[in-house]
A = this chain, B = another copy of it.
C-alpha cells in the first residue's frame, strides 16, 4: 500500500518507522522543512520525502500528523491532488471539530487519535513500537464509508495498537476527563505552590517535594503548546469537566473546613476504590 504521512514529528515519524518495518508498504513523507525530509530519508524510514503535497497523488491512505490548527488548511491544499478513493485519516487529540471540518470536504476521511506519546517532540523522538498496546481511537462520521474505516483499522492493528471506535464528541468528552482536565488540575497545583509568599517555606516545599508532588504535577509541567491546543480545540468539554471538578473540590474543602471527617474518609475511600477502574 502507498502510505502518505504529512508531518514527520513524533507521531508521524513513529508511524513511518513502524509501517516501513512491516515491509509491505511504500511510505512517502511530507514535511515543510527540507532538513526533516532529508533526515527521514537518511534514517530509511520513508521511501521518499519532500515538502510537496503533490507527491501524495498516488497514495492509498494518508495520515495527517500536523498540529491541530494545520489540519483543515492541509486538507484544503491536498484535495486537488488526490484521487477520490484516497483515504485520509488524522492523529489529532480532539475529534469533534476536526471531523465536522474535514468530513464534508472528503468523504473518505476517518478521524483518528493514537493515544501514545512521550515527553519529547519531533522526528528525533520518533521511535518504533510507540503504538503497541496503546489505544488508537477511530471516530468516523455517520457518512464515512465502512471500507475506509476498515482500511484504517487494519493498518492501525498492524501497529499492534488496540483499536476503538466511537462518536467524535464522545471521544472529546472522554479525553477531557482523563487527558485534558488532568493538565489544568496539575498545572494549577504548580502555580498554587509557587504562590507561597514566604520564600523560606517555598524553599522547604521545593526541598521536601517527592514522588507525590512529582506525579501529581507531571502533566501540568508538560509542553505548554500542547496544553493550549487541547484547551482551544476541546474548550467546551474541558470547561464542562473543570466546572464539575471545581464542585467536587469545593465539596472536599467543605468537608475539611467543617470537620466532616467521616464524609471526607468516605470520599477518599471511594476514590481509592474507583481509581483502578481507569487503569
Contacts and interface: CB of A to CB of B under 8 A. Distances in A.
Interface of A: 115, 134-135, 137, 164, 166, 170-171, 173-175, 177-179, 181-196, 198, 200-202, 204-210, 212-225, 227-228, 231-232, 235, 238-239, 241-253, 256-257, 259, 261, 264-265, 267-272, 274-279
B212 A275 contact: no
B177 A185 contact: no
B206 A277 contact: yes
A256 B278 contact: no
B218 A215 contact: yes
Contacts of A221: 271-272, 274-276
Contacts of A222: 272
Contacts of A205: 173-175, 177-178, 278
A27 B62 CA distance: 69
Nearest to A269: B224
A210 B265 contact: no
Contact of A178 (B212, B243, B250, B276): B212
A135 B207 contact: yes
22 contacts: A170-B204, A173-B201, A173-B205, A177-B205, A178-B205, A183-B212, A184-B252, A185-B186, A187-B252, A188-B249, A191-B248, A193-B241, A193-B278, A195-B248, A206-B278, A213-B278, A217-B278, A220-B271, A231-B256, A242-B249, A245-B249, A246-B246
B242 A256 contact: yes
A274 to B, nearest CB: 5
Q: From DSSP, what is the main secondary structure of chain A's interface residues? A: helix
Contacts of A217: 182, 271, 275, 278
Contacts of A191: 248, 251-252, 267, 270-271, 274
Contact of A215 (B177, B204, B219): B219
A121 to B, nearest CB: 13
A216 B213 contact: no
Contacts of A184: 249, 252-253, 256
The 4 closest A-B pairs by CB, nearest first: A221-B275, A224-B268, A174-B204, A209-B278
A41 B212 CA distance: 33
Contacts of A235: 256, 259
Nearest to A187: B271
